[in-house]
Structure 1
Amino acid sequence: MIAKLKQFLQSHSQAISPEDKAKQLNLAAATLLLEVVYADETFNQFEIELLPQMLMDTLGTSQTQAQELIAEATKVRGNATSLFEFTAEINEQFSLEEKQQLLLAMWRLAYADGELSQYEDQIIRRTSDLLYLKHSELIQMRNIAIQQTTSD
């Protein structure tokens, strides 16, 4: 029974086209970035304006694709039960450098309004753990984000 279920799931996951798989991956990353924006429950204009740029920089999307991802991520985010749903896909597909860039984008969003809330910090740290990043990488990306934020 379990073998049949496993076979069924594998056959359906292989049926996804590479374009759809890339879209799912981008959606997972966009949803994680959106989690940071929503974390402190205050919608800061700086964060909202920075989000599309972070998607373009991190995922290499166009402005239009970034806006579409944000709209779709907003819908998906409401139905999510945990961050693991998004990080599992990213762990399969992203390189270490891509994971670090995603984490850097999360930190930049968190610091966009000039202050870091405990909820933003929690989400980023939890995401870092789920992406199997070292604590030193987490701190390094945070320091880079702070440096970039103060120089902007």
Structure 2
Amino acid sequence: MIAKLRRFLEAHTQAASPEDKAHQLKLAAASMLLEVVFADDTLSPQEAKLLPKLLTETLSMSQADAQVLIDEAKRVQGNATSLFEFTTAINAEFSLEQKQQLLLAMWQLAYADGQLSQYEDQIIRRTADLLYLKHSELIHMRNIAIETSHTQ
């Protein structure tokens, strides 16, 4: 508890560089994707293959940087207490289109193994609410993910 308070105070008393801020946003987005991956307690081979690809496309980064980010996000995500921690930073900086792309990536991961678990669905819906996305946007992104999963 004291360590969390110290991190919070350090984060809010020091001015973050633009690079640090960008990295924190990418880390938050990667952590959100990991929430979906681990929602059903299994990392399928399809999800493991798709995750770095989605990060490179969604966050415009190299494959090597995506893998480093995934490893870091696994450490951070395991210590998180709620989705709110990640969505707060994303809401502050992401455009509507970026939020939609993140939600689409979450749906694509959820459907990567050919089945949607209730836990994956629940996390994505909760995330959409926390990102202030409309229900119609949630459904539209889901439908795109379903269409692309059938064509692959």
Query: Fold-level match, TM-score > 0.5?
Result: yes
Task: Encode CA deviations 1:54-90: one digit per residue, 9 max, x unaligned.
Answer: 1011101110110011000000011100000000000
| Amino acid across the alignment from 2:149 | T
Structure 1 match to 2:67: 67
Residue 114 of structure 1 and its aligned partner are, at CA, apart by 0.4
Residue 118 of structure 1 and its aligned partner are, at CA, apart by 0.1
Structure 1 match to 2:148: 148
Give the paired residue count: 144
Q: Distance in 1 between matches of 2:136 and 2:114?
A: 23
| Amino acid across the alignment from 2:25 | L
Aligned counterparts, 1:111-150, within 5 A: 111-150=111-150
Q: Distance in 1 between matches of 2:123 and 2:37?
A: 10
What is the TM-score of this pair, normalised by structure 2? 0.92
Residue 9 of structure 1 and its aligned partner are, at CA, apart by 6.8
SS at match of 1:39: coil
Residue 42 of structure 1 and its aligned partner are, at CA, apart by 1.5
Structure 1 match to 2:94: 94
User: Which protein is bigger by CA-based radius of gyration?
Assistant: 1
Q: CA RMSD in A?
A: 1.4
| Amino acid across the alignment from 1:53 | K
Structure 2 match to 1:106: 106
Q: Distance in 2 between matches of 1:108 and 1:47?
A: 9
Q: Structure 2: where are the runs of 5+ without partners?
A: 1-9
Q: Name the % identity.
A: 68
Q: Distance in 1 between matches of 2:60 and 2:148?
A: 19
Structure 2 match to 1:43: 43
Q: Distance in 1 between matches of 2:40 and 2:104?
A: 18
Structure 2 match to 1:81: 81
Structure 2 match to 1:18: 18
Task: Encode CA deviations 1:23-70: one digit per residue, 9 max, x unaligned.
Answer: 000000000001111000122100011000010111011101100110
What is the TM-score of this pair, normalised by structure 1? 0.92
Cα separation, partners in 2 of 1:46 and 1:9, compared to 1, 3 Å: closer
Q: Distance in 1 between matches of 2:109 and 2:11?
A: 35
Cα separation, partners in 2 of 1:37 and 1:16, compared to 1, 3 Å: same
Residue 130 of structure 1 and its aligned partner are, at CA, apart by 0.3
Structure 2 match to 1:3: none
